[in-house]
């Protein structure tokens, strides 16, 4: 990561809400490096994503809540997890993500409700979790603050429950919120 990349923008799709639940699994991950340094455009510079290969996908799917089954069926995620050509192992995903963070020091995660993703990393990608700072940039918290204390901003948080699309949407949301908060033009002379 360089000065242009202050955060690792991350999103996970999972089998439920509790990373400690029996049979809980990460189904998909996506990470984006963006021009997110002070004064940056927040435009993606590099992006990485993969569904997690599940040879026993029908059994995994059957253990999930019906809402989760339906959500990932509509998004096409179950099909991607079952197809070895469109998915990779979770270990390969963690290795890819580890290659994006500096070998020394900690990286800050950014995303929407990214505390959720950090909890899953701690259980299912512990090597990466050890290289992640406890402070995160949570765009959904910025939305809540803006809706509570600021003037109205067009749009609202949204997501399609596919990791890469959700991160790109979150970056768009961050750009709009940053502009609404008057932070858009601030440069590196803080």
Residue 182 pLDDT > 90: no
Question: Is there a domain that residue 2 lies in?
Answer: no
- Asked whether residue 89 carries a pLDDT value surpassing 50, the answer given is yes
Q: Render the burial of 101-137: b for 16+ CB within 10 Å, e for the rest.
A: beeeeebbbbbbbbebbbbbbeebbeebbebbeeebb
Q: What is the mean pLDDT of residues 72-90?
A: 97
Structural domain boundaries enclosing 13: 7-180
Asked whether residue 70 is assigned to any structural domain, the reply reads: yes
CA–CA separation, 89 vs 119, rounded Å? 19
Question: Does residue 188 fall inside a structural domain?
Answer: no
- Is 189 within a domain? no
Task: Report how many domains make up the chain.
Answer: 1
Under 8 Å between Cβ of 28 and 52: yes
3-class SS at 15? coil
The pTM (predicted TM-score) of the whole model is: 0.90
Strand order from edge to edge, sheet including 108-111: 87-88, 44-52, 26-34, 7-14, 108-111, 137-138
Structure tokens at 103: 């070998």
Assign 158 to helix, strand or coil.
Answer: coil
pLDDT given at position 190:
38
**Better-scored residue on pLDDT, 185 or 79:** 79
Please report, rounded to a whole number, the percentage of residues in the chain having pLDDT higher than 70: 92
In a domain, 186, yes or no: no
pLDDT at 24 over 90: yes
Q: What are phi and psi of 100, to 5 degrees?
A: -90, -10
Q: Over the stretch 29-62, which tens digit does the pLDDT of each residue have?
A: 999 999 988 888 999 999 999 999 999 999 999 9
In a domain, 1, yes or no: no
Q: The CATH number of the domain where 89 resides is what?
A: 3.30.420.10
């Amino acid at each position: 990561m360089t000065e242009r990349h202050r955060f690792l923008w991350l999103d996970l799709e999972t089998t439920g809400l509790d990373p400690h639940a029996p049979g809980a699994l990460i189904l998909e991950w996506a990470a984006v490096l963006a021009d997110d340094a002070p004064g940056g455009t927040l435009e993606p510079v590099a992006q990485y994503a993969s569904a997690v290969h599940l040879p026993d996908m029908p059994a995994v799917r059957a253990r999930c809540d019906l809402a989760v089954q339906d959500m990932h069926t509509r998004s096409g995620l179950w099909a991607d997890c079952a197809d070895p050509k469109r998915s990779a192992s979770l270990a390969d995903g963690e290795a890819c993500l580890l290659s994006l963070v500096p070998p020394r020091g900690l990286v800050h995660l950014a995303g929407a409700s990214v505390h959720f993703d950090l909890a899953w990393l701690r259980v299912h990608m512990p090597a990466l979790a050890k290289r992640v700072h406890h402070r995160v940039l949570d765009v959904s918290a910025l939305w809540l603050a803006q809706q509570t204390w600021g003037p109205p901003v067009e749009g609202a948080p949204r997501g399609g429950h596919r990791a890469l699309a959700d991160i790109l949407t979150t970056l768009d949301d961050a750009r709009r919120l940053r502009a609404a908060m008057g932070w858009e033009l601030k440069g590196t002379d803080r």
